[in-house]
Amino acid sequence: MATQSSKPSLARRWEDYQPAKSTLLWACAVTVVATLIIGFNWGGWVTGGTSRALAATAGDVARGELASAVCVDRFNTAPDAAAKLVEFKALTDSYKKRQFIETGGWATMPGKTSPDRLGAQSCAVALAA
């Protein structure tokens, strides 16, 4: 004769379970905290301040790249570009190369009165290559 188990099945125990309010509260709290930890550490979430800082940095880099492209184009289309390139390559210090670009006016963007420093530095690197 087979004996039946007096222990109810897992499905039956799940149906019969009635959690207390504090258990539900703690389960929700743990879920929220776990979601925040996972989101900020591995999900790529950032705060508003970090987002603004990243956007400002990206804008500065993009502006410098654009200024560099304009600077290299202006330098290469100048009437005495070959002579200026020889003079530029004779300079050894990166600071003097940037000053040469700024003084030549190639790093000054249209509508501006002063040269773009990031653009001049990137232009000097591009011309030195």
What pLDDT, on the 0 to 100 scale, is given for residue 111?
87
Q: What mean pLDDT, rounded, does the chain reach?
A: 90
| Residue 37 parent element (H or E) | helix 21-41
Q: What is the pLDDT of residue 58?
A: 96
State the Cα–Cα distance between residues 106 and 76, nearest whole angstrom: 10
The pTM assigned to this predicted structure is: 0.64
User: Phi/psi zone of residue 43: left (φ > 0), alpha (ψ -120 to 50 degrees), beta?
Assistant: alpha
Tell me the three state secondary structure of residue 32.
helix
Amino acid 4: pLDDT:
65
Tens digits of pLDDT across the chain (129 residues): 556 668 889 999 888 888 899 999 999 999 999 999 999 999 999 999 999 999 999 998 898 888 899 999 999 999 999 999 999 999 989 899 999 999 999 988 888 888 888 889 999 999 988
